[in-house]
Amino acid sequence: MEHIYEIVDKGGVFILNPLDYSDIYKYLEENHIMIDLEETNDFTDLSIIDDDLEGKEIFLVGENHGVLVNEQLRMKFLKYFKFNTNFKYYLWELPFSVAFFLSKYLETGDEKILRETSYVDWFGSILNKNPMFQDKVLSIVYIYDNCKYLYPTDLKDYQGVMTTLDSKLNILKKYAKGECTLFKLNGTDSPFDKRLLWPIVHKIPEGGVTTDYFQYIILIRNSKALTSLKV
């Protein structure tokens, strides 16, 4: 029989309990959609997130650096959240010069500006424990399967191959459509709302259920690496 695994705390010792696939198959079948990376102004493919936007004030998206698809998703999510929530502040790990132009876009909505720029405590979980932010945080995590990434150095640019999808949750591949597939984890009767079913090979938390840490997964498969700017 096929199994996935649930992380269970037994007196401070974390063990893996085998679980049947059946309820997870049924849930994922009804709660995933392919993301169209070419259409950055059409948000139909992100519509399964819409119902979770009400009352939320903080939106978190986590990535591993150096993967080409990250850049395409970043722009799509920026436009999606701006269109649907009109948020005021956008925090991004980037140089000050790029942040300056991005702020100009948020102030003006001028897309020409965008074309000129190019064991762990989970941040969303920590924020949600604060009464000021409780139930106001929406978190999305990227998971990679056979994706190339850029590792630049002063002498040479290197490329590596990265897979962060835990093989015990390869079930996600069954529903992967194209390069990017969005999975909703907090829908009705979701097993991810009831158990800690962890899809990432690292950064395993201590206790709780999956949706305590993030409510959506984007599975990215076979992406190319970023390329360095040539000076």
108-164 pLDDT, tens digit per residue, is: 888 777 665 544 467 788 778 888 888 899 999 999 999 999 888 878 888 889 999
Phi, psi angles (nearest 5°) of residue 92: -150, 140
Q: For domain 4-221, give the fold.
A: EreA/ChaN-like  fold (3.40.1660)
CA distance 68 to 225: 5
| H or E stretch covering 174 | helix 171-174
Nearest Cα to 49, choosing from 179, 185, 174, 144? 185
Structure tokens at 92: 């991004």
* Domain residue spans of the chain: 4-221
Output b/e per residue, 166-185; b: 16+ Cβ within 10 A.
bebbeebeebbeebbbbbbb
Measured between alpha carbons, how far apart are the two ends of the chain, in Å?
55
What is the residue-level pLDDT of the chain in tens, covering all 231 positions? Answer: 344 555 555 555 454 555 567 788 889 999 999 999 888 889 999 999 999 999 999 999 888 878 888 888 988 999 999 999 988 888 877 656 567 777 778 788 887 776 655 444 677 887 788 888 888 999 999 999 999 998 888 788 888 899 999 888 888 998 988 899 999 999 999 999 999 999 998 777 878 899 999 999 999 999 999 888 765
CA distance 149 to 71: 12
How much is the pTM?
A: 0.68
Structure tokens at 43: 């948000």
Q: Please, where are the H alpha helices in 60-170?
A: 68-85, 96-108, 111-115, 123-129
